[in-house]
Amino acid sequence: MKFIVQIGGLSALLSEAQVDVLAAMLDGSEVITNKYMGSNLGSNGTSYLELIEPVIVRKSFDIRVMPTQEYDGMKLITKLHLESSSTKKP
């Protein structure tokens, strides 16, 4: 079984041990957030204030699960695709 975690727009496939390390690493870290401060009366835009806040892992860490059978199937498809692509090139 693999855990799917979105990191920088990528779907990373992690083991349970890797998820534990990532969660421990994020615990106690900080993030930059944007707080809406309302409309600027003198302009057409809106105002946001950048703040530094602590990460709450329980609320910030979304994980999906990929069963082993599906993971193994995708690995096989990837391998076959790469082999097929390499034999087509001169």
pLDDT tens for the chain, residues 1 to 90 = 999 999 889 999 999 999 999 999 999 999 999 998 877 666 666 688 999 999 999 888 889 999 999 999 999 999 999 999 887 766
pLDDT attached to residue 28 = 93
Sequence ranges of the domains in the chain: 2-88
Q: Is the dihedral of CA 19, 24, 30, 33 positive or negative?
A: positive
Q: Where are the alpha helices (DSSP H) in 2-67?
A: 16-26, 57-60
What tokens appear for 54 in the block? 């602590």
pLDDT at 38: 79
Residue type, 65: V
Rounded distance between C-alpha atoms, residue 49 and residue 69, angstroms: 46
Total length of the chain: 90
Residue 5 · residue 15 · CB < 8 Å: no
Confidence at residue 89, expressed as pLDDT on a 0 to 100 scale:
60
CB atoms within 10 A of CB 22: 18
Residue 49: is it exposed, middle or buried by C-beta count within 10 angstroms (0-12/13-18/19+)? Answer: exposed
Q: Give the pLDDT score at 70.
A: 97
Output the pLDDT for position 41: 61
At residue 90, the pLDDT reads 60
